[in-house]
């Protein structure tokens, strides 16, 4: 059973001047419900598939992971955006800090993990230098099967594998669309182990598909628990998504421009990055569903407590009142450590305090300081961090974001704005069919020397 709560005290009128009064709470829950009903319809029609992932059988994934256990020292995941951010969130939350520096046996025979996301030569080079081809499993992930960064990095890594190992195909897994795309065609022709992303599950909603689950399982994480958490959220706590959506809709309507997610734990740092993609790509839209030009969307901002009290908090408290804050509190921090002796009596007050206690005190202090400055905040409180809770939290936000988008009559499941840049890049790379874009590029990309200083 979960123990996750959503606390909206500091976003309601009784605490905060700009907060929702009790009539508004109902009114905005109704608005959230409009979004939710639209989402339900899309799910029922089969257009949107991420909520159904909680019912999938996991045996083929766990059996595959079991078969590979102990055979590889390194797992290199080649993927970008929706194909890597979910996994990074999982790894950051659930594996030890400095995991890749542990020995094979300290890791329980599970591989180290490397994420080849960017086409950054330096990063790719050092991943290859850190790994031995003979001891490496390469997991290449692209929903479309043709993501240019992923295909490029994979080509480099494939060559690296082929030059050193006899059967490179035993060192590769593909995760892609069941039918379409280059990767599928190639994996079929070459009889490569392949897992599929359901057609109705988009990249940023794919963490509970093989995209997130296969690598997580290879790393020894309990993916069944993750799915159980996600499932329990849907079964018993949708109300939390409605309340959270209601608050976000309210402040978007009030003109707040920035949505800050600030977990008070370093373990959810990458979770916040995952959330930023989910929010930005789902809600930043030029047109609504009726084709009206609206340039919609607020900007997600990642922040990690207590670190960013020494970085962003000054702006949060004293800058413009244009941000809504969502804190995440962990009640019981794993491996919490008490300060039992202190170096100087000046800090005697720390004696007997634990690091986790201190971290949570700092959160309460920040909550109150922001409240006093009339800045709205909500807080998600979880008892601990584990597979179950992470699954729960991810599904919670995968409901919240589309609910907000659908209420505002935009399509939270597409990303038309990224096409133009892709087309220019294809043109510059010389892909056939994109010659027009070279011309357009040459006409538009004019740089005058006088403006280069």
What values do phi and psi take at 200, rounded to 5? -95, 20
Instruction: Identify which of residues 40 and 182 has a Cβ nearer to its own copies in the complex.
Output: 182
Task: Work out how close the CB of 66 gets to its own copies at its nearest, in angstroms, rounded to a whole number.
Answer: 25
Q: Classify residue 442 as exposed, middle or buried by CB count within 10 Å of its CB (0-12, 13-18, 19+).
A: exposed
Q: CA neighbours within 13 Å on the CB side: how many for 102?
A: 15
Catalytic annotation present for 310: yes
306 upstream amide cis, omega within 30 of 0: yes
**CB of 146 vs its own copies, minimal distance in Å:** 8
Q: Which of 88, 281, 329, 367 is catalytic?
A: 281
Could you tell me the two tokens for 279?
């929010």
Question: Least separation, in Å, of the C-beta of 255 and its own copies?
Answer: 11
Q: Is 166 a catalytic residue?
A: no
Q: Residue 298's Cα: distance from chain center in Å?
A: 17
Name the token pair of 165: 């190992």
Cβ nearer to its own copies, comparing 218 with 378: 378
Half-sphere exposure of residue 352: CA atoms within 13 angstroms, side-chain side: 2
Per the annotation, the verdict on 379 as an active-site residue is no
Active-site entry in 67, 97, 167, 310:
310
| Least CB distance to its own copies at residue 418 (A) | 5
Nearer to its own copies, 67 or 432 (CB): 432
Q: Which is nearer to its own copies, 61 or 80 (CB)?
A: 80
Q: Kindly state the smallest distance separating residue 47's Cβ from its own copies, in Å.
A: 19
The span from the CA of 73 to the CA of 133, in Å, is 10
Rg (CA), the chain: 23
When the beta carbons of 42 and 378 are compared against its own copies, the nearer one is 378
Residue 17 CB neighbours (<10 A): 8
Helix 85-94 with 269-283: angle, nearest 10 deg: 160
- Minimum CB distance to its own copies smaller for 94 or for 216: 94
Q: Residue 371 to residues 10, 110, 376: CA-CA distances in angstroms? A: 7, 45, 7
Q: How far is the CB of 229 from its own copies (least distance, A)?
A: 17
> Shortest gap between Cβ of 25 and its own copies (angstroms)?
9
CA–CA dist 140, 242 (Å, integer):
36
Judged by CB, which is closer to its own copies: 186, or 407?
Answer: 186
Which position among 71, 159, 422, 439 bears the catalytic label? 422
Residue-wise DSSP of 351-420: TT-BHHHHHHHHHHHHHHHHHHTT--EEEEEES--SHHHHHHHHHHHHHHHHHHHHHTT--TT--GGGHH
SS3 70: coil
Q: Return the bridge partners of 75, or none.
A: 113, 137
- In the complex, the smallest distance separating the C-beta of residue 216 from its own copies, rounded to whole angstroms, is 18
> Which residues partner with 324 through β-bridges?
259
Residue with tokens 């209601």: 246
Instruction: Kindly tell me which of 57 and 448 has the beta carbon lying closer to its own copies.
Output: 448
Residues acting as catalytic residues: 281, 310, 422
């Amino acid at each position: 059973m979960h123990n996750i709560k959503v606390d909206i005290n500091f976003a309601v009128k009784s605490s905060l001047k700009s907060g929702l009064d009790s009539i508004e709470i109902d009114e905005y829950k109704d608005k959230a419900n409009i979004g939710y009903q639209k989402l339900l319809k899309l799910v029922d029609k089969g257009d949107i598939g991420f909520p159904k992932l909680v019912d999938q059988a996991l045996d083929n994934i766990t059996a595959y992971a079991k078969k590979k256990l102990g055979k590889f020292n390194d797992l290199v995941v080649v993927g970008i955006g929706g194909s890597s951010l979910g996994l990074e969130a999982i790894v950051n939350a659930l594996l030890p800090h400095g995991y890749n520096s542990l020995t094979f046996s300290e890791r329980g025979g599970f591989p180290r993990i490397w994420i080849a996301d960017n086409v950054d030569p330096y990063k790719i080079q050092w991943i290859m230098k850190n790994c031995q081809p003979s001891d490496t499993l390469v997991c290449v992930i692209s929903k479309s099967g043709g993501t240019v960064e992923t295909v490029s990095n994979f080509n480099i890594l494939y060559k690296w594998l082929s030059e050193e190992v006899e059967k490179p195909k035993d060192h590769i897994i593909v995760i892609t669309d069941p039918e379409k795309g280059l990767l599928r065609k190639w994996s079929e022709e070459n009889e490569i182990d392949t897992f599929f992303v359901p057609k109705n599950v988009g990249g940023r909603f794919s963490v509970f598909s093989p995209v997130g689950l296969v690598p997580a399982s290879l790393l020894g994480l309990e993916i069944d628990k993750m799915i159980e958490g996600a499932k329990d959220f849907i079964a018993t706590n949708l109300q939390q998504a409605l309340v959270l959506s209601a608050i976000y809709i309210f402040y978007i309507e009030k003109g707040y421009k920035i949505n800050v997610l600030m977990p008070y734990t370093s373990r959810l740092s990458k979770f916040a990055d995952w959330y930023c993609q989910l929010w930005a790509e789902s809600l930043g839209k030029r047109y609504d569903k009726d084709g009206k030009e609206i340039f919609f969307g607020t900007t997600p901002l990642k922040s990690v407590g207590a670190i960013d009290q020494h970085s962003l908090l000054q702006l949060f408290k004293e800058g413009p009142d244009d941000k809504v804050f969502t804190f995440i509190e962990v009640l019981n921090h794993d491996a919490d450590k008490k300060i039992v002796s202190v170096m100087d009596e000046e800090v005697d007050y720390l004696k007997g305090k634990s690091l986790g206690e201190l971290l949570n005190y700092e959160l309460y202090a920040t909550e109150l300081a922001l409240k006093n400055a009339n800045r709205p905040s909500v807080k998600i409180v979880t008892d601990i961090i584990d597979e179950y809770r992470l699954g729960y939290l991810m599904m919670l936000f995968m409901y919240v974001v589309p609910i907000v988008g659908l209420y505002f009559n935009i399509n939270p499941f597409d990303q038309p704005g990224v096409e133009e840049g892709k087309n220019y890049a294809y043109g510059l790379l010389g892909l056939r069919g994109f010659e027009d874009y070279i011309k357009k590029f040459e006409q538009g990309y004019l740089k005058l020397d006088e403006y280069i200083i």
